[in-house]
Structure 1
Amino acid sequence: MDKKYYWTDEDNGVVTVGLTEDGRNELGNITFVSIPKVGTQLSTTDSLLNVEADKAVSDIPSPVAGKIIDVNKKAEDDPSVLNGADKTTSWIAKIQK
């Protein structure tokens, strides 16, 4: 998936990642997600998110290398929260660089 499909916000070396409007439109309505567990080390070739949606089944690579320090539990329980534009609720994970 192209980098234009996700957003990143960095604060003190912690990068929060979510899907942009382009990403949500490309995928369609998200129905299932798999996010690595907190503590997982990722490189930029590793998958941050496995997603099933109306238009596609995709692996989304991590935009940064680092350790997952938090995941959006609401997204794991209800993947449809990732369909929203509000960054405070539709983020995927927080990664410590």
Structure 2
Amino acid sequence: MNEQNLWIDETDGVVTLGLTSEAQEELGKINFVTFPEIGAVLQKGEAFIEMEAEKAVIEYVAPLSGTVLEINEEAKNNPAVLDSEDVKQAWLVRLQKA
């Protein structure tokens, strides 16, 4: 998958990345997610998150460079959150842009 399956929302230099409804549809039910550590520096084009779902195991690449400020702890504990019809609930990480 590519960055087109991620939505990006930027507010005051903080970027939130999340799954689009298209990505949710392609993946099916999400069973497990490996998140980056808070404080990790992501480089544009490098894999930053891995998901196991009923239809695929996939790595997503960062669409931009930045430092991880926050991860979706709720999704870490309950990956089904990422299947939400409200894609704003399907956020993955918040970054401080590099």
Whether the TM-score (by the shorter chain) exceeds 0.5 is: yes
Normalised by the length of structure 2, the TM-score is 0.92
Opposite residue 60 of structure 2, the aligned amino acid is I
Normalised by the length of structure 1, the TM-score is 0.93
Opposite residue 64 of structure 2, the aligned amino acid is V
Unmatched tracts of structure 2, length 5 or more: none
Unmatched tracts of structure 1, length 5 or more: none
Aligned to 1:50: 50
Q: Which runs of 4+ in 1 moved over 2 A?
A: 85-89
Aligned to 1:11: 11
Residue correspondences, number: 97
Opposite residue 44 of structure 2, the aligned amino acid is T
Q: Distance in 2 between matches of 1:18 and 1:85?
A: 12
Give the alignment's Cα RMSD to 1 decimal: 1.1
Contact 1:14 1:94 in 2 (8 A): yes
Q: Distance in 2 between matches of 1:67 and 1:61?
A: 14
3-state SS of paired residue (2:74): helix
Aligned to 2:25: 25
